[in-house]
Chains A and B, each alone.
Chain A
Amino acid sequence: MDTNENNKNRPYLGYGLGLRKEHYDTVLAERPAVDWFEIISENYMVDGGKPLDYLMRIREHYPMVMHGVSMSIGSTEPLNFDYLKQLKALIQRVEPAWFSDHLCWTGVDGVNLHDLMPLPYTEEAIQHVADRISRVQDYIGRQMLIENVSSYVSYTDSQMSEWEFLNAVIERADCLLLLDINNIYVSSYNHNFDPYTYLTAMPSERVYQFHLAGHTHEDNLIIDTHDHPIADPVFELYAAAVKHFGRVSTMIERDDNIPPLSELLLELEQVRHIAEDYFKDESSHEIRTA
């Protein structure tokens, strides 16, 4: 794992993809030029069989990070230590560069909605979720990355902007940030705010990963569906993120309408070009002005 020229403390993995079962055999047979893979943790929190077998065979050839959807870090339910115990065991097995989950809640009263429900942007929620992130980090024994979610609902209880809320949580919890560029765009559209204001308000030293994905327009809103290629406005926001943060490990999430791996590799090349063209221009500019 390299460290970032622009931020000496930030590890840098390059350009990655989400590992999906549809691509297992192709990945093993062709060893595509993907710098790293992100796995959905819950898909491998099983006792054995094919999922774990494929995972560990692919892990032999690629760096990995783990991304969870069920920690429910913002829920008012007690933390689920059965879940965290299994997560910790998988972390020990996979040895990921880092692990992440979402700044959301997934259920209360013993029910799991299996969705990424947004939090109200309140002081009470900051204190609640920051305390839980700290407890998870203590239990797992390392810092975690928290990801901003797409949202379709905004609460009358909210007292601040989403970026102020996110900043306060990660500062108070002393955790790291997985910045989902598509989610910023989706929420900015749905809630009428400027995505660039959000982007530039993020603390650079804590941004360890970018997510990119496709979305869908529906009912006067944008839905974070991960079933299309990345949209142009998201590419534009990504270019601004590259300019603002420097080299950040970046990957594409695709969870539905999954194309052949070759198509995703082409899309990943687009992503790589946007960033590398910028860094090339930057370095030639530095040489000219030296």
Chain B
Amino acid sequence: MKAVMKSELHNLQHTFQGCVLSPDDVNSTAWISASGRAAPETQLSIYSYAYAARLKEVLANDYPAMLVALGDEQFYQLADNYIKFHPSHYFSLRDFGCDIPDFVLTQGGKNKHWLYELSLFEWTLGEAFDAADDNLFTEQDMSAISPELWSELKFNFHSSVHRLDFEWNTVEMWQALTRDDPIEVNAKHESTGVWLIWREQLITRFRSMQTDEQFTLDILREGGDFNDICEKLAETMKVEDVPMHAASLLKSWITQGLISSIK
């Protein structure tokens, strides 16, 4: 294979970037002129310091509850490690912290499981915050559909809708940690709780879901139709109560802005 000649400009940028990413491994500063007011090492240090400081600030903004939970020292140690192993590949700083939840799991420590959930919750709130402004399917739209067609109706959910399954008291901790006067709440391992996160108009919301709502929502999000959710509900309740209950769930999703359209 023919070797590609790298330009002098590329070599310079590659060298400079290496010094910013790994300031402790700088071999030579001969490419920096000593004619300026500061020594080459000082000139370089402005960029390496700013690089780490900027990214740490981004992570602190994206994960405010985790910052309070860990305290400055531990949080910024985690941030330093993340920055080292996950340099940004995104044009927007908005996306830089996306791998923090998985990164937390790779770190040692007895707290990593609830920290994973806490960071996942914070990141998902951010995802819902600026998800697409999909159209909303309204009760009026629904009433215009003939009831005999309901059984085969399929639904598209709003882009902001997420389901998270937690085994810890994650949401309780997040609420306590993000108060104006944060309070400590001990992490508690609990039976699985299922949470719904979405954005209603411009307001990001979250709430827990009961079992029947969980599985009906899953069926519809995976492409099932109204008939499928009725069949599933019939496994756990009286058949004659199923249509009313399914319609009630559907109505609540529509009024809360979870459904964008029908298929």
A168-212 vs B, Cβ < 8 Å mask (1 yes, 0 no):
000000000000000000000111100000000000000000000
Question: Which of B45-53, B64-72, B241-249 contacts the other chain?
Answer: B45-53
Interface pair A157/B54, CB less than 8 Å apart: no
A276 at the B interface (CB under 8 A): no
Which bracket fits the contact residues of B? Answer: 35 or more
Interface pair B92/A45, CB less than 8 Å apart: yes
Q: Looking at chain A's contact residues, is the secondary structure mostly helix, strand, loop, or mixed?
A: loop
User: Which B residues touch A125, using CB under 8 A?
Assistant: 9
Looking across the interface, which residue of chain A has its beta carbon closest to that of B90? A112
Interface pair A153/B12, CB less than 8 Å apart: no
Interface pair A76/B37, CB less than 8 Å apart: no
Q: Which of A82, A128, A221 contacts B38 (CB 8 A)?
A: A221
B154 at the A interface (CB under 8 A): no
- A48–B260 CA distance with the chains assembled, in angstroms: 14
B81 at the A interface (CB under 8 A): no
A110-129 vs B, Cβ < 8 Å mask (1 yes, 0 no):
11111101011010110010
Known A120-B12, A154-B33: A112·B199 in contact at CB below 8 Å: no
Known A50-B129, A108-B14, A115-B47: A42·B37 in contact at CB below 8 Å: no
Give the Cβ gap from B120 to chain A, nearest Cβ, in Å: 19
Interface pair A49/B38, CB less than 8 Å apart: no
B167-210 vs A, Cβ < 8 Å mask (1 yes, 0 no):
00000000000000000000000000000000100100000000
Give the Cβ gap from A255 to chain B, nearest Cβ, in Å: 11
A residues in contact (CB < 8 Å) with B: 42, 45-53, 70, 75-76, 80, 82-83, 105, 107-115, 117, 119-120, 122, 124-125, 128, 152-158, 189-192, 218-221, 223
B residues in contact (CB < 8 Å) with A: 6-10, 12-14, 16-17, 20-21, 30-33, 35-38, 40, 42-47, 50-51, 54-55, 87-94, 96, 129-134, 159-160, 199, 202
